[in-house]
Structure formats: structure tokens, C-alpha cells
Chains A and B, each alone.
Chain A
């Protein structure tokens, strides 16, 4: 019954996968205009690379705020699924947000963590996740019970399918490699915001 029981117990037991491939697998499963908040850096480069959708919001700074922004969208539109894509360094910067999510228990929120144990975009300096921190264990400790590592690609797809249909909040940890994205997000904040608002049916 436990969500955690069927998945790797520790970060080191999860397969190291491709962020671009997993992002494409996630986007392919979005059929109901789900909102996706892409954290800064490669999380949103690969989201852009997976094919633009008007329901995508791409951050251009404010490191660590993908989960809070997604939470705000989830509160305002409880009928819409909202996915936050965030790197391990960014999650570490705003760990309190996991506790806030746990306390509010938004049923429509899905958090995906891309964990390569590195500040990849700044030169690959190791994060605390590379040393010892297990972000899924931290999330569970914060109170997000439905938090687990994806064992491999097919496990990730099963977890996403469930997270997009059953009550959350959900947190899916993914070990990823250090391959650089092929795309770069278009950097026009007013346009990004306007398209996103229209994409989720809020008049510009």
C-alpha cells in the first residue's frame, strides 16, 4: 500500500537517467492542460526542449521558487494538476517549501526533483545531495508521505501516471546524469508570463 515501499529506499539505489528523456516522457503524458513550472537552469531548458506548451512557466531567476510558484497555481486552480520541475540544488535552497506543501496537502500538486548531485550549470560543483542528503527522505520527513525515488524509466512513467490522476501531493525523485540540454529557453519574461496565463485560462 505504501507508495514508498515499492521504490528504491535510498538515493544511491535509483538508476541514473537522462533528464531530457524523462522530461519528454513526462510531457507526453500531459493530456489535460496540466501546468508545469520549470525551475531555473537545465530543468527548464529541457522542458523547453521537450516542446513548448502554453501551460509551461519557465523561471529566469528566483532560484528555489519552482515549488512555491507551483503551489500558488495549485491553490488558485484546484481542478488543474500542477507539476514543479526542480533541480536538487534549487530544492536544497528552499527546503521549507516542502514542509509548507506537506501542511497544506494540495491534492493536485506533483513535485519532480532532478537530482544529479551538482550545480551543473555553474560548472558541476557538488551539492549536498552528492555528499549525503537524500531529498526524498527529507521530503518524507517534512511530511510529504507520497515521496519516492524512481527506480528506472518505466517506474518513473508509472509514478507520473499515478501522480497525474490520484490525490497528492506527490514527490518523485529522479537521479539524472550530467548531460547538457540541447535547447535553451527563450528568455522573455513578460511573454512567458502572458502565454502561461492564457494557457491556463486567465485573461491577459
Chain B
């Protein structure tokens, strides 16, 4: 995949290479091109959940039953997850893959998003979860590919943060 491909096309290619078929999500504007690409490709089983905890439970069950998955969400959704990461994914050694669209920074207009965004990396660090922020198109392939390998090999969750530098973020109306 050339570096000039949009981030979501690179992501689709890496997910397919690692046989990650189940894509659960709670919708987000920035994730929309990835969500649409997943729905357009019969390789994937897309699944919309009512909340992120539920989505984490679904991908955990599916992984234990032999089907790999990923959970897509925005920053505020991640903030609802610490309990289930700490009591399900980590102790049971389930490599839950998470991809978070980073809201609340670099031009945010919603104060609630801005504050909740500040909790994300401290929570990931407190839980000792491997996390990587993707800012440039040319690093998406390497970060996703290597980190998915590591997550599976070490049975540990991993979180990919999509910076507005990569995605353009959410632009508010003038």
C-alpha cells in the first residue's frame, strides 16, 4: 500500500492482512470513511453497538471463539471503558484492538470533548496499555501492522489514536 493512500484504506488493508473481520463501533464523524469502507467490503462483519463497553464485550467473546475484531470509537467513548479493560480484557489476556478518533484537541469547539480527551492517555498509561498516536499517513501501516502482531503475540490490548493531523479532525462550521 503506497504511503499516499488515505489512512482508512491503509487501515482496511492491514486489518484484512491480520484477518480482523469483526468491526464493532459506536459512530464518529472522523471514522466515517473507515466505517463506510468496512461496510462496503464483504470480508468484514460490521456491527454497531449501543455503547463502547458492549462493543468491547462482543469483540472479547468473538476473539475467544476464534474471530478477530476491533473496536472503533471516539475519545468520549473510550472514557467509558476503563472498568471493562481492567476487569475483562487485561486479566483474561484478551488482545482487544481499539481505534480512537481523537476529539477535543487541535481545533475542538466542544468543551466537553476537550476535557474528556485529556483523560485518555493517562488512563491508558495507568492500565499499562500499549498505545500509539498516528499523525501521518506514512506511519499508519507500520504502527498498525506491528502493534497488531504484538497485541496477538502478547495477548494484550492495544489502542490506536487517530490524531486530527492524520484525519483532518472534525471541522466546525464557520
**With A72-B59, A97-B54 as contacts: A200 and B88 at CB distance below 8 Å:** no
Neighbouring A residues of B93 by C-beta, 8 Å: 189-190, 193
Interface residues of B (CB under 8 A from A): 22, 45, 47-51, 53-67, 69, 83-84, 86-88, 91-94
The reply to whether A94 and B59 form a contact with Cβ atoms under 8 Å apart is: no
Please measure, in the bound complex, the distance between the C-alpha atom of A70 and the C-alpha atom of B54, giving whole angstroms: 11
Q: Taking each of A37, A61, A70, which has the highest tally of chain B beta carbons within 10 Å of its own beta carbon?
A: A61
Q: Choose from B22, B58, B88 the contact partner of A62 (Cβ within 8 Å).
A: B88
Neighbouring B residues of A37 by C-beta, 8 Å: 61
The number of chain A residues with a CB under 8 A from chain B is 36
The reply to whether A192 and B92 form a contact with Cβ atoms under 8 Å apart is: yes
Neighbouring B residues of A64 by C-beta, 8 Å: 53
6 contacts between A and B (CB under 8 A): A62-B53, A71-B61, A72-B62, A72-B64, A76-B63, A190-B92
Neighbouring A residues of B67 by C-beta, 8 Å: 72, 75-77
Is A149 part of the contact surface with B, judged by Cβ < 8 Å? no
Measured CB to CB, the closest approach of chain A to B24, in angstroms, equals: 9
The reply to whether A61 and B94 form a contact with Cβ atoms under 8 Å apart is: no
Interface residues of A (CB under 8 A from B): 35, 37, 57, 59-62, 64-65, 67-77, 80, 94, 96-97, 99-100, 104, 189-190, 192-193, 196-197, 200-202
Neighbouring B residues of A62 by C-beta, 8 Å: 53, 57, 83-84, 87-88
